[in-house]
Amino acid sequence: MKDAGYEVAVFGGDGTGPEVVREGLKVLAALGENGPAPWHPTEYPGGGQYYLKAGKEWEPAAEEAAHRADAILLGAVGWPGATLPNGDIAGRALVLGLREGLDLYANVRPCRLYPGVTHRISGEYRTVWDPKNVDMVIVRENTEDLYTPARGRLTRGGETEVAVDTRLITRKGAERVIRYAFELARARARGAPEDGVRRVTCVDKANVLEGCRFFRETFDRVGQEYSEIPRDYAYVDAFTQWLVRNPEHYNVVVAPNMMGDIITDLAAVLQGGMGFASGGNIGSAHGMFEPVHGSAPKYAGKNQVNPFATFFAVEQMLRWLGDRHADRRLTGQADRLESAVARTLARGAAKTYDQGGSVSTSAAGDLVAAAVRGEAR
């Protein structure tokens, strides 16, 4: 426990990133009222829009703060036309750069449907899945696989002939993220909605890919240390249909990086859309928390997008800090935020455009901040 409190480095980033982060900070401030708040957020500019203006993705002081802080809260990066000389998106340093640089090896993405949240399917707002059937956590490997910058082009006489991305699956990378998933299954209060079983599902393409065979072997080897936790397997193609058809079967899911990226966007549909999906990028010494959605340039400046993913990111951040520092103040505040969010959603009071409503980003923040104040400390 840190008596002086925790330093949080905050990056709004691009587009709607700063808008949702502003609401996240509003809710964090409401949690910290009535007493000295055990956290100190500091905002730093950075991202693609900053790059267009300043010629660099961020300032050295911002990068230092990210490396020094107890936790990082990130909005979103990416802006049309903001590209680095090598073709990468400007703002990459804040997302992929920090995942690599701080060794944030597990991307932990809860997928839970809260009562009162609807899905937009075929243009209509309805509840397709039963909230009691959607409650899993997808743990995505976050530092290797096709994301390793082992790629390039063969250009001869000015013409590109071949482009190649190398897929690396390492013993270290697979082992630690798989261990994270089993530890999470052990710690989670609930098992799968279907039967309460605390299963861990390994999603891969081990019927074809060597890296996936190695990932699955590692899953079996590490899993033997967790004999009380049933191991479950799914090829990624089949998984996409089972996820939609029987989400109640899943408790903790672990997957290599690229497949994890794809299945978590699909899973977001089950939890009401990208507006509700948050992720924690977690390493052994650092944690960065973010809404999974992007910077949504076409909505930028309109005060229209859904800030709930950022509220969940703040909740994940508080819970992670509380667990890591054995600090009940923070786990208590994470519980308080979750219950304020759940009550607000259940009342159907904060429906933004993606939920078929017209509540603005800032009004949704006001509603959750008010719910936080009404929640027992």
What string of DSSP letters covers 313-331? HHHHHHHHHHHHTT-HHHH
Residue facing Mn ion at closest CB distance: 261
3-class secondary structure, 145: strand
Q: Which is nearer to Mn ion, 257 or 361 (CB)?
A: 257
Q: Is 292 in the site for ligand IPM (CB under 6 A)?
A: yes
Count other C-beta atoms under 10 Å from residue 251's C-beta. Answer: 27
Q: Is 137 in the site for ligand IPM (CB under 6 A)?
A: no
Identity of the amino acid at 115? P
Site for ligand IPM in 243-282 (CB under 6 A): 261
The first and second tokens of residue 96, run together, are: 């992929």
Q: How many helices (H) and strands (E) does the chain have?
A: 11, 14
Q: Is 145 in the site for Mn ion (CB under 5 A)?
A: no
Q: Which is nearer to ligand IPM, 257 or 344 (CB)?
A: 257
Rounded Cα distance between 271 and 118, Å, is 8
Rounded Cα distance between 358 and 350, Å, is 9
Rounded Cα distance between 192 and 47, Å, is 38
What string of DSSP letters covers 107-136? EEEEEEPPTT--EEETTEEE--S-GGG-EE
Say which entry of ligand IPM, Mn ion, none residue 96 contacts (CB below 5 to 8 A, set by partner kind).
ligand IPM
Task: Compute the least distance from the CB of residue 11 to ligand IPM, in Å.
Answer: 13
Q: Which is nearer to Mn ion, 182 or 308 (CB)?
A: 308
Q: Which is nearer to Mn ion, 28 or 73 (CB)?
A: 73
Site for Mn ion in 242-261 (CB under 5 A): 261
Site for ligand IPM in 74-113 (CB under 6 A): 95-96
Q: Is 135 in the site for ligand IPM (CB under 6 A)?
A: no
Say which entry of Mn ion, ligand IPM, none residue 192 contacts (CB below 5 to 8 A, set by partner kind).
none
3-class secondary structure, 278: strand
Q: Which is nearer to ligand IPM, 20 or 95 (CB)?
A: 95
Residues that bind Mn ion (CB under 5 A): 261
Residues that bind ligand IPM (CB under 6 A): 95-96, 261, 292
